[in-house]
């Protein structure tokens, strides 16, 4: 018996000597992505994999770093193509997704509280109404919301479905606290009929100074103009109202601001000293209800500018003296415009298929046919 106890003791000692203790501070699990050169680690990676991975969040586009969000919180943050993940472990909440839907709208000058609300007494069958925001969720968007994380993943809907023209795509979208859903009927019958907008990419690009996609309509023309137009700025405006008017010695161009705001007016004229077409920009201050006309009588064959053009022309002596009288009535159309990190701006006029290329570095402008 004594011999057996000694043998057992020796066996325990032997097994103990073979056991390898795990380090107290083992390195967190990490996954790297060659597409962006970024890695995801630890609790961020666990959350990313557990809640949908690539389809839901997209690729990582930043390193994990300390940031502050719009709600006043600060802590470890990592950006992804479709989301921003925040590690709230210090507050006992773990990893949470950022409120990118409302942040994106805010950057564009839109407040979700201003969107039309659904009448709670006239709810449509098969829809879900949310009293918290006064919005409802129906059809494909409701189906996707319910199957892919619901309130935790997307938050409450903050808009109704609406048509929106984006830089590379246009169609039906609906905004949520944390996301934007996009309906792609061309993918009907596949798992990709509803896609999530690339809000993480767009917002991170705005804050980090990264290049955004150039609107497809502008791409070839921008490439031809070189470095000033090589790096697009985020949040171009697509299919917005544009107006132009010809004058004796130049022209005026108006573009609508975000969310139908007053926008800007550009005066374009030839600078004889520089032998170049140049421009200056002014805020558009005319609004519905203001006087349409100054009641002036133009010389024969000429036209008094009215509305926004007329207000600027009457109130700004430089504009009036530089341009003279209008030679034709203003022409309205729709188009796109986008700023570029290098100091450029392009306005596309859909009615004539032409582009104004503004260079803010030297205040010159060219009016060219769009390259296709």
User: Residue 32: exposed, middle, or buried by beta-carbon count in 10 A (0-12, 13-18, 19+)?
Assistant: exposed
Q: Report the pLDDT value the prediction gives residue 16, as an integer from 0 to 100.
A: 43
Q: What pLDDT score does 353 carry?
A: 95
State what percent of residues in the chain have pLDDT above 70.
Answer: 92
DSSP 115-180: S----TTSPPTT-EEETTTTEEE-HHHHHHHHHTTHHHHH-SB-S--EEEE-SS-EEEEEEBSS-E
Q: What is the pLDDT, as a whole number, of residue 160?
A: 95
Pair 324, 249: CB distance under 8 Å: yes
- Domain boundaries in the chain? 30-98, 104-208, 219-369
pLDDT of residue 25: 54
Query: Given this model, what pLDDT does residue 207 score?
Result: 81
Distance in angstroms (rounded) separating the CA atoms of residues 29 and 50: 14
| Phi, psi dihedrals of residue 202, rounded to the nearest 5° | -65, -45
* Residues of the chain predicted below pLDDT 50: 1-24
Cα angle 92-95-99, degrees, rounded to a multiple of 5? 110
By the 8 A CB rule, do 136 and 118 touch? yes
Q: Give the pLDDT of residue 164.
A: 85
Euclidean distance between CA atoms 283 and 312, whole angstroms: 9
- Look at residue 119 in the predicted model and tell me its pLDDT: 86
Rounded to an integer, what distance in angstroms lies between the CA atom of residue 318 and that of residue 334? 28
pLDDT the model gives residue 233: 86
- CB of 260 closer than 8 Å to CB of 368: no
């Amino acid at each position: 018996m004594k011999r057996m106890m000694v043998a057992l003791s020796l066996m325990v000692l032997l097994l103990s000597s073979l056991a390898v203790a795990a380090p107290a501070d083992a390195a967190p699990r990490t996954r790297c992505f060659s597409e962006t050169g970024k890695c995801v680690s630890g609790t961020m990676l666990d959350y990313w994999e557990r809640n949908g991975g690539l389809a839901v969040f997209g690729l990582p586009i930043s390193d994990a770093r300390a940031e502050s969000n719009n709600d006043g919180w600060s802590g470890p943050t990592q950006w992804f193509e479709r989301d921003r993940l925040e590690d709230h472990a210090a507050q006992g909440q773990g990893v949470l997704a950022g409120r990118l839907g409302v942040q994106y709208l805010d950057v564009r000058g839109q407040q979700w509280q201003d969107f039309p609300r659904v009448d709670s007494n006239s709810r449509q069958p098969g829809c879900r109404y949310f009293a918290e925001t006064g919005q409802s969720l129906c059809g494909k968007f409701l189906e996707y919301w319910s199957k892919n994380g619901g309130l935790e993943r997307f938050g409450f809907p903050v808009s109704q479905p609406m048509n929106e023209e984006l830089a590379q795509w246009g169609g039906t979208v609906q905004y949520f606290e944390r996301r934007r859903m996009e309906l792609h009927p061309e993918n009907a019958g596949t798992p990709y009929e509803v896609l999530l907008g690339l809000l993480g990419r767009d917002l991170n690009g705005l804050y980090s100074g990264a290049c955004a996609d150039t609107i497809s309509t502008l791409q070839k023309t921008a490439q031809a103009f070189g470095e000033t137009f090589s790096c697009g700025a985020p949040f171009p405006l697509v299919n917005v109202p544009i107006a132009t008017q010809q004058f004796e010695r130049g022209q005026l161009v108006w573009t609508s601001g975000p969310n139908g705001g007053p926008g800007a007016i550009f005066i374009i004229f030839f600078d004889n000293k520089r032998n170049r077409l140049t421009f200056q920009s002014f805020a558009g201050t005319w609004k519905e209800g203001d006087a349409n006309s100054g009641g002036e009588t133009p010389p024969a064959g000429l036209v008094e500018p009215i509305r926004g053009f007329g207000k600027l022309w009457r109130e700004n002596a430089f504009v009036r003296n530089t341009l003279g009288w209008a030679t034709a009535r203003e022409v309205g159309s729709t188009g796109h415009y986008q700023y570029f990190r290098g100091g450029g701006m392009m306005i596309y006029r859909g009615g004539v298929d032409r582009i104004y290329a503004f260079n803010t570095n030297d205040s010159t402008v060219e009016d060219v046919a769009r390259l296709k």
